[in-house]
Amino acid sequence: MAQLKHPPRAARPRPATRLLAPLLAAALAAPAGAQTDRPVDAVDLGRYLVRTAGCNDCHSPGYAQQGGHTPESSWLTGDGLGWRGPWGTSYAANLRLLVAGLGEDQWLQHVRTMRPRPPMPWYDLQAMSEADLRAIYRYVRQLGPAGQAAPAYQPPGTPVAGPVVQFPGAP
Ligand code: HEC
């Protein structure tokens, strides 16, 4: 802070509060590390949310199995791992293709009203702020479309090829 490095030499001592006020304001506005921990730029924030809210765990191929080492170029391209339970078998959608076909407001409307099958935690998305949902959109949108559509949902009782995570209860 310039005023601390170069205090006025004149016999015009500043009241302590004039020096402390900016420091206090800065301390209140930025609790330890907050500014660097949570990005401000929408795209960076979206990337941060996609990582920390766990979207990659299901929507990025092999992400959980590889300890998060799936390259970013493949993030959110969907996965062929089936989630099998009383609802049938669901597959984490390719969000890169979904977002490429939606405007930002359409995305907002979609994620706030959708009721996808388990284990998609739609209720977590609906607890997010509008700014966070828009940031996710902007991040995924700038990644661009990639990959193929995930396998189609299969109703209960339909046998599926490929690996599945079996939930309790009859499929
Ligand atoms: C535990 C696994 C899991 C996690 C974590 C998860 N999803 Fe999903 N998601 C799924 C599955 C499975 C589906 C498909 C559900 C269906 O078939 O109805 C899905 C569907 C969706 C859909 C609807 C796709 C469409 O075509 O309408 C969106 C949007 C979505 N997920 C976004 C997200 C975002 C954003 C996150 C992170 C905040 C996230 N998901 C985290 C498993 C997951």
**pLDDT number for residue 15:** 54
Strands of the sheet containing 82-85, edge to edge, are 88-91, 82-85, 164-166
Q: Could you give the 3-state DSSP secondary structure of residue 52?
A: helix
The answer to whether position 83 is within a domain reads yes
Q: Which residues contact 105 (CB under 8 A, 6 or more apart)?
A: none
The answer to whether position 22 is within a domain reads no
The residue whose C-alpha atom lies closest to atom 36 belonging to ligand 1 is: 55
> Which of the four pLDDT bands, split at 50, 70 and 90, describes residue 7?
very low
Q: Which residues contact 57 (CB under 8 A, 6 or more apart)?
A: 63, 64
The answer to whether position 2 is within a domain reads no
Instruction: Encode pLDDT of 31-74 as tens digits.
Output: 444 446 899 999 999 999 999 999 999 999 999 999 999 999 99
The answer to whether position 1 is within a domain reads no
Q: Which atom of ligand 1 is nearest to 119's Cα?
A: 1
Q: How many domains does the chain have?
A: 1
For residue 155, the enclosing domain spans 42-63+75-166
CB 104 within 8 A of CB 110: no
Q: How far is CA 146 from CA 13, 52, 140, 141, 169, in A?
A: 64, 22, 11, 11, 34
Ligand 1 centroid to residue 156 C-alpha, Å? 19
Query: Global pTM?
Result: 0.83
Helix-strand-coil percent breakdown of the chain, rounded to 5? Answer: 45, 5, 50
CA distance 55 to 46: 11
The answer to whether position 68 is within a domain reads no
CB 61 within 8 A of CB 75: no
Phi, psi of 161 (to 5 degrees): -85, 155
Ligand 1 centroid to residue 119 C-alpha, Å? 8
To test ligand 1's pocket by mutation, which of 63, 79, 106, 120 has the most ligand atoms within 8 angstroms of CB? 120
Ligand 1 centroid to residue 128 C-alpha, Å? 14
Instruction: Encode pLDDT of 133-160 as tens digits.
Output: 999 999 999 999 999 999 999 999 999 9
Q: Which atom of ligand 1 is nearest to 136's Cα?
A: 35
